[in-house]
Structures are given as C-alpha cells and as structure tokens.
Structure 1
Amino acid sequence: MLDLRAISRDPEPAIAALARRKDGSDDRLRAALAARERLNAIRPELEAAQAERNAGAKAIGDAKRTGADASEAIAAMQAVSARVKELEPEKDRLEEELNQLATSLPNLTDPSAADEDTALREWGERAESGKDHLELAGAMIDMEAGSKTSGSRFAYLKGDLVFLELALVRWTLEKLRGHGFEPVIPPVLVKEDALFGTGFLPDTEQQIYRLADDPLYLSGTSEVALASLHAGQIMDEVPRRYAGFSPCFRREAGAAGKDTRGIFRVHQFDKVEMFSFVEPQDSAAEHDRLLAIEEEIWQGLQIPYRVVNIAVDDLGSSAAKKYDIEAWLPSQQKFREVTSTSNTTDFQARRLDIRYRPGGGKPAHVHTLNGTAVAVSRALIALMENHQTEDGGVEIPQVLQDWGAPARLG
C-alpha cells in the first residue's frame, strides 16, 4: 500500500517511478490523488453541513416546545438537509473509488531497478552438454503416478532423491540459522487478508488455489505466512529474520506447454524462504545481504549461476526491486531461474500494519524483504544435471552428504 498522503506533497517522483512499470499504474495514481483531493474537500463541507443540520433540528425542537415560530428554522433545515443528501453519496462514492484505486497500485520502483533484465555477474564453469534430470533420476521421479493421482505436473519423489531433498533442506536451514534467521514451519493455508497484505491479491489470483468450503487459500510461498507473523503489531525489535520451510502450491495458470517436462514447473514443491523485517534505512543493504546468502548457497552446491537485476515491468506488485539467480542447466544449455529476492520496502508493512518505534519514539512502518534460499525441485534439477557423471550417475557434493544425502545417485 502506498502512502498517498506523503506522495501528494510531491507526486511527480512517484508517478515517474510507476510509469517505469508500463502497466498504467501511473495513471491510476493520478486518479487516486485526484479522488483523495476531492474527498478531502468534501469531508469538512459535509461535516459542517451535518453539524448545521443537527443544530437546526435542535432549534426547531426548542421552538416547538416554547410555541415560537419555527418556519424559518424549518426552511433552513430543509436546505441544509438537501445539501447533506447531495454530499453523503458523493463522499461514499469517492471513498470506494479511492479504495479501489489505492489497492490496485503496486509498489514504487527503486531507481536502481533495471529497465530490462540485466545480468550482473556469473559464477562457475558451464558444462557443454548433459542428460536432463528425468533421464538421470529414472524411477526416483515418477511423473506418471503423480499424474494418475493428482493430475499433470505432480510427481512422486522416491528413494535416495528423498534423502537428498531432506539433506538439502537441513543444510540450508542450518546455514541460514548461522546468518541469524530463525527456522519456522509456517501454516500453508492462509486467509485472504494475508494474501492481500503481501500483495498477491489483487494481482496473482490466477496462480492461487482456493478451498471450496473454507475462506482459505493454499499458499504459493511461505513469504505470505512469514510476513503475517507480525501483522498488526508494533515490533519490539528489528531486524528480525526468519527462514520458513513449507510445501508451496501454484496453479501455474497459462504456463501450459512451457517447462512441463519433469519437475521444473510443478503445482506442488517444497521451499526454504528467507524473510526479513528491518528499519527503512537498512533495507537496501539487507537486500544485498539476502542476495549474498543465495550466492553462498549455490556456490556451496557447486552449481554455475548468474545474477540478474530484473526489469521493472516484470516485478510483482509488492517489489520495488528484485534479483534472480539463474542456474546453468546443461541439458537446456541455458540459465534458468532458481531463486529470487525482493525488497518490498514498506508496501507490505502498510497493508499488514507492521510497525516499530525508531529510537523508542513514534511508531513507523518497517521494511520487509524476501528471498528464496532453496526451491527444492529446481535445486534438485540443477544438482543432478551439473554433477552428472559420464556413466549416467550423479555425484553429490560433500556438504549435503554431511547431512544425510547419498554420495551418489544411480
């Protein structure tokens, strides 16, 4: 949620920031500011008319009780009542219009967010060719059984691949705890308020599973539940950092025919997510910190990758800036997205009303940030394809063996 009161003092920078998104949100901001200005003009006029009407009603009552002539008071009362009847529906209409416009506005883009996807750096040596993850996993990934049980883009993971996932998750959580993140297993069923608060509604309705008999949704990321952990609170301490592990559910509507082979783009997957609550002046540095941790993870897994500053017209509604890490997949001979990290500034905190007391003084909204530590299915793909051997097996990095992963697949 944008701070329209602050923006109204100098709207042009905010309008320019939204214009970079090329989604019409700059025009909606102008409309919202105009509605707000008209509403601010109507409210005192309406309040004065209502007060005058109340005073007139009292005067008429007093006149009738004393037997005095109340005709002039009645005439005045009729005129002011007519004005109140004009202003009240206008105020209600403007409030509804302003609310709809305000909730449709995305976050302001950061000046350092890219105009087009920009690769910033690359790490590791790319393999020139290789089998894909389904060939390497064999019976350990059963897409056919998943389809029979649940439909397309569901899978059973079996055997040593299960222990590889569990080791990957445990290693990641331990690494994050070493960086000051508290491990959390959050709810995966969330209310509409939680999705609205994080900016997924109204924005990504087509991607979200909704329960038929309860007012609940299956979360596509633990970001939703982690952000809501302090909803409506004045936090007694920032920064606060959490590492959430949960299954995630996404309908992936509109993605049919693209990346539907294997487990790269599925409806259900497990993920470890980082989430930070920080003071506003620290959020840019925290964003760099989350990205550095993501890079540390992928370097620890010995997987080639590149870092991309994502274009502003591809940002989600809550993000002011986003970095992706794209891992190299030998079977495709291209980099593919495996993590992202976003600075959402105070956008989510305003919607969820999460504040702190800077210097012990007046409450102010925190800044929130999120970052994928490991999206398990894509991490498994990258691990198998980048650590495959000539005989069709996969050698597992020692860091994962230390947490129970097999030394080799196949």
Structure 2
Amino acid sequence: MTLDQTHDPKLASWVEGAEPGSDFPIQSLPIGIFSEAKGLRRPGVAIGDYILDLTASADLLDEEWREDLSQPILNAWLSRGPEAHRALRQRLSEILSDERYRDDVEINLIGQSEVRMHLPCLIGDYTDFYVGIHHATNVGKQFRPDNPLLPNYKYVPIGYHGRASSVRASGEPVVRPRGQRKPPEADAPEYGPSRRLDYELELGIWIGRGNDLGQPIPIGEAGQHIAGYCLLNDWSARDLQAWEYQPLGPFLAKNFLTSISPWIVSADALAPFRTPMPPRPEGDPDPLPYLSNDADRQSGGLSIQLEVTLSTEKMRQQRQAPHVLSRGRADSAMYWSAAQIVTHHSSNGCNLQPGDLIGTGTLSNDSDQGLGSLLEISRGGKQPIELQSGEKRSFLEDGDEVTLRAWCEREGAVRIGLGECVGRVVSAY
C-alpha cells in the first residue's frame, strides 16, 4: 500500500467542515449509500459535513464508472477492485480540492444531517471471527481459569458464519431478543427476553473483488480483495449464548442484529496508518506457511483508536454526557491480521463475493480501560459499573444507547474517522 497525492497532509478541500479534525477530511473520502426524504437510494461520498451525490455528479466522473456508481447498492462497484477504487479516489480528491470545480460540484453537496444512511451493499454472507486475543483470553478465564485459550487459537483464525439478513446500518433499534436461557441454579431452561444483553466492539471488513469457488486467495494477494473497513457491533445475548452454544457455537444469541457504521473507509485511506502486527509472545507457534507473509508482518496492523460510550434514558433526560465504557486500539488487540482472516476464510476454496462482510471479533486491549464488551467490563456481571446518574450496569437495559467510534491519527498524517455505529435497546416484542 503506497501513499500518493491524495494522502498529502497539506491537501485541503473547499467544502465546509472538511478541515483537519473532521471524521471526513479530503484525505478520507469514504463511500456509502444514502437517501433524502422520500428519495431514491444512491451512492455518495462523505466530505466534511456533507455528502457528494455521485449520481448527480456523473458528468465529472469517468464514463466507465457511471453505471456502477448510479446503483442503490455498491456490490458491482466493489467488484471492480483496487485499481478502479484508487482512480475514483484520485478524481474525487481533485474535484473537491480544486476551486475550478467548485461551481459544478457544490450544487451536488447534501448535508449529512439531511439524509438517511443505508447498508452500502447487498450482503450475501457475513462471517464473524475471534481474532481479539485479549477478549478471547478474558472470556476464556471466566469459564476455564487455568486454560483460557483452546489449543487451536494460536494456529487457526477462529470464526463462524453469522446471519447476513439481520445486518443493519447505524441507528437501527436493538430489539431485545427472546430465547431459551438456563440459569445455573435452574433444573430446566425457560423462554423469555434476554437478561444479559451485551455489545461487542469490532471492525468490519468489506470484500471487494471476490475469488472463484475452489481457488483460495494467497496471503500476498489478500489485500487486493479488501475494499475497506467499518465499525461493527455484534450484539450478543450472553444468557442465550451460554445455554445454546455447545456444541455448534453461536446461533440465536447473535443473529438477531448486527449493527455497522454506514461508510466504507477504503484501504487506501487507511494506508498512512498501517503498522506492524504485534510480535507473537515467546513460545507461540509461527503461523502456518499459507498464513505467513513478511509484508503482512511489517504492515498488516491497523493503527485505529477505538471508543465505546453508553447513554441511558435517565442520563439523556438529565442531559448528562455519555459514559465512556472503553478506549483502546485495534492494532494491539488483533492476533491475526485482516489479510490472514481473508486468506484463511478462502483457504478451503470458499468463494468470497463483492459486498461480503467479515467481522474481526471483539477488540479488547490488555488493560481495563480498553475492554470491548460488558461481559469483560463487569466480569461476567459480578462487578457492575456505576454511572454518573447513580445507575448501575452489568448488562444493557431497555433505553440504553451504545455508540462505537473510531479514528486514526499520527504525526505527519491528517486524522480520519470511521464515523459512528449507534444502537438503542428497546423492549422485547
């Protein structure tokens, strides 16, 4: 991943709100799908406080891109691969920074507060991994104090297939799920609303160009299949999960809703923030050859800062600021890289397709300030947190709103954000 003129920290846009410090400066230019009131869904690019309507701006874009960039989903555009994505990024950077284009472009800018965001793609498949080693260790300790990680964890990226139909864009209400649960002291399970509803802080990986069935993606080429990233909240009903997950893993405890931030932040936009993967602790096995790559070790990490906040109904009524649940980093949380995830997913010949979504798994750091779920923060419910409103929380109550945020910043580069992923819990039907 190389830097070009689109990453220049001196580059500035004439669009209001795109100054350094914004989530969406001209160095970012994420793509998504939006609609105005009673309007059609169409693609747009975030710039400052606005969205550039790509359909209305078609005359300023390459003719061969126009059909794919006039559709209400981005699957066809993602399938074009990194060369086309990079060319569009360069063209957008040009017209949003050069005053010569201002009169032609400004009329196609729409305030972000005036639109509704939608899923950027028709998601054919959604897979959730478990590459956050500190999360895996913390959860494992609650069930296996002497052996928190199972023997396969450091050899194989663990994952499971989720439910694509229940993935929704940020802002979708979180309806408390119902299901079977069996408290430890009960003789038999019961059916009812989850009492241990939780969030999970993750990154989402969007697949661009796919691979043919039976043709694995080599580790050195995996990055060419990653179109971009988003935030992902894999809502989890811990009481349902504890009862149902053996022997086949997550099911109803996970598939009722997955929330994502609506913008696809391109791999190119994140290029200045690549970082080496954390060195493996002494004694850990080396990755098997199909997962091993020198370039990925040197730049497969993502220097992304993560934050989770909680706002209860009482806090909002009292106009209190949200409570910060955690602040951490993605690069120190992931045991396996994004490229290793994609390679392993396809290693048996599985065909990934444009618009497929992959979750990293919960990203927790090795300190109490950077935990990615309430299951960890409250130590399985044994240590509730106290909020400024006087309320306590072990797990989420009705009316609670969880907001995930993420951003990248380092010296010599302009800060960019991934936006927000928001969900508010409502009572079970």
What's the TM-score, normalizing by structure 1?
Answer: 0.23
Higher strand proportion (structure 1 or 2): 2
